[in-house]
């Protein structure tokens, strides 16, 4: 087991609904509160367990919505109350990670923070730990560092990072500069990226000295920076915190950290990347859930749910059951069945990305009771 890194604080942004995983993932039970791999515990708990050896239980912070506080604390009974940072409403990743950076920097100048999403799946913990240790070494030198995943296929579901020249840093033998970020490509372009080993998947992991990250926000979005400073100043004063959050949080710029921090830093030669040689998935839709649970066997039927009652004959895909209903499948392939008490989804892996359209339609038609 690695020793906790002395000047390191892990931050877990636990937000988002995961609308492409509806009706399993919902506003009151988002993706990170589900067991999607059959591990017996939620993705949030899995995230905590792989970060605890690196940071220590008292140096992990979670940024989440007020509505999810009880569920988060139930999943993470070891988390100190002072390390649960509550958002009054979703404001995207720059506000969430920036809030953690501002609070922790005020408590501990020069602290290095690492942001790791609550709803990703990672396998290969030793290589993950080595990548984080390298990223911390890079951050100590004043760079913002990300961890990019070496692609295993020409995926169109992820953004890409183009790495550039080697960055010489003691303790980080794989460090390189980032040339640029690339949005999700079409299939032909993805094939070109896959053939060119300089391209890595963007996994949304960022490691930096908190003051360096905040300095980038200040330069790119002074309004967002000012709001985060107001919040941090009042945060550890219980009487002041609530009114200041209610006043300031809704005014913060709603923008992803990629746009306000990572891309500008890359343009200035201040962003580095460590290649991650571990299995990673952001579980973005049911097609990725099939891959995670099929263990490479394309003709298998994955079944999730502690009380699932499934009868299958010559069928493949995935069944997620939250009821005691018997589900029978005969001669269907790459199927997705999600059965809950108040909603049923049936689609195929090929159409998994279209589930978000159903969620959008329910919002327009007033069907928010099942969202």
Q: Residues 310, 315, 319, CA angle at the centre, nearest 5°? A: 45
- Give the whole-angstrom CA distance, residue 157 versus residue 151: 11
Q: What is the pTM of this model?
A: 0.93
Give the integer Cα–Cα distance in Å for 135 and 207. Answer: 6
Calpha distance 1→125 (Å, rounded): 10
Confidence at residue 78, expressed as pLDDT on a 0 to 100 scale: 85
**So what's the pLDDT on residue 206?**
97
Rounded Cα distance between 318 and 232, Å, is: 44
pLDDT per residue, tens digit, the chain (371 aa), is 678 999 999 999 998 777 899 999 998 889 999 998 888 899 999 999 999 999 999 999 999 999 999 999 999 998 999 999 999 998 999 999 999 999 999 999 999 999 999 999 999 999 999 999 999 999 999 999 999 999 999 988 889 999 999 999 999 999 999 999 988 899 999 999 999 989 999 999 999 999 999 999 999 999 999 999 999 999 999 899 999 999 999 999 999 999 999 999 999 999 999 999 999 999 889 988 988 887 656 678 989 888 899 999 999 999 999 999 999 999 999 999 999 999 999 999 999 989 999 999 998 988 888 98
Q: What pLDDT was estimated at residue 284?
A: 87
In 3D space, the residue among 279, 333, 339 whose CA is nearest the CA of residue 308 turns out to be 339
pLDDT at position 298 is: 66
Per-residue confidence (pLDDT) for residue 200, from 0 to 100: 96
Question: CB 328: neighbour CB atoms within 10 A?
Answer: 10
Q: Nearest 5°: phi and psi at 147?
A: -110, 115
92-107 helix and 210-220 helix, angle to the nearest 10 degrees: 130
Distance separating alpha carbons of residues 41 and 39, to the nearest angstrom: 6
Token representation of residue 13: 């942004």
Is residue 47 packed enough to be buried (19+ CB in 10 Å), middle (13-18) or exposed (0-12)? buried
Q: Which pLDDT score, from 0 to 100, does residue 183 have?
A: 87
Instruction: Please report the pLDDT score of residue 86 as a whole number.
Output: 95
pLDDT at 297: 66
3-class SS letters over the chain: CCCCCCCEEEEEEECCCCHHHCCCCECCECHHHCCCCCCCCCHHHHHHHHHHHHHCHHHEEEEEEHHHHHHHHHHCCCCCHHHEEEECCCCHHHHHHHHHHHHHHHHCCCCEEEECCCCCEEECHHHHHHHHHHHHHHHHCCCEEEEEECCCCCCCCCCEEEEEEECCCCCCCCCEEEEEEECCCCHHHHHHHHHCCCEEEEEEEEEEEHHHHHHHHHHHCHHHHHHHHHHHHHHCCHHHHHHHHHHHHHHCCCCCHHHHHHHHHHHCCCEEEEEECCEEECCCCHHHHHHHHHCCCCCCEEEECCCCEEEEECCCEEEEECCCCEEEEECCCCEEEEECCCCEEEEEHHHHHHHHHHHHHHHHCCCHHHC
């Amino acid at each position: 087991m690695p020793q906790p890194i002395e000047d390191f604080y892990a931050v877990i942004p636990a937000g988002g609904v995961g609308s492409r995983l509806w009706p399993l993932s919902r506003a009151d039970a988002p993706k990170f509160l589900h067991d999607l791999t059959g591990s017996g515990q939620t993705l949030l708990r899995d995230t905590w367990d792989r970060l605890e050896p690196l940071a220590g239980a008292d140096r992990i912070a979670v940024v989440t919505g007020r509505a999810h506080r009880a569920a988060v604390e139930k999943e993470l009974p070891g988390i100190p109350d002072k390390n649960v940072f509550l958002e009054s409403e979703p404001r995207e990743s720059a506000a969430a990670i920036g809030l953690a950076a501002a609070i922790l920097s005020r408590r501990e100048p020069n602290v290095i923070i690492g942001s790791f999403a609550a709803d990703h799946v990672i396998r290969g913990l030793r290589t993950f730990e080595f990548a984080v240790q390298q990223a911390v070494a890079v951050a100590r030198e004043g760079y913002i560092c990300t961890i990019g995943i070496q692609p295993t296929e020409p995926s169109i579901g992820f953004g890409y990072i183009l790495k550039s020249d080697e960055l010489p840093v003691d303790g980080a033998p794989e460090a390189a500069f980032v040339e640029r970020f690339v949005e999700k490509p079409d299939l032909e372009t993805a094939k070109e990226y896959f053939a060119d080993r300089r391209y890595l998947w963007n996994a949304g992991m960022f490691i930096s000295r908190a003051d360096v990250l905040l300095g980038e926000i200040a330069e790119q979005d002074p309004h967002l920076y000012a709001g985060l400073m107001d919040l941090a100043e009042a945060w550890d004063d219980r009487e002041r915190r609530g009114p200041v959050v209610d006043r300031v949080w809704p005014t913060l710029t709603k923008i992803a950290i990629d746009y306000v921090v990572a891309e500008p830093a890359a343009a200035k030669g201040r962003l580095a990347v460590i290649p991650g040689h571990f299995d990673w998935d952001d579980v973005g839709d049911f097609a990725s859930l099939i891959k995670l649970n099929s263990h490479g066997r394309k003709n298998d039927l994955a079944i999730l749910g502690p009380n699932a009652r499934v009868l299958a004959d010559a069928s493949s895909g995935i069944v997620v059951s939250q009821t005691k209903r018997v589900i029978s499948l005969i001669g269907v392939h790459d199927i997705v069945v999600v059965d809950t008490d108040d909603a049923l989804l049936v689609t195929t892996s090929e159409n998994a990305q279209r589930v978000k359209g159903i969620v959008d339609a329910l919002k327009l038609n007033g069907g928010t009771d099942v969202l």
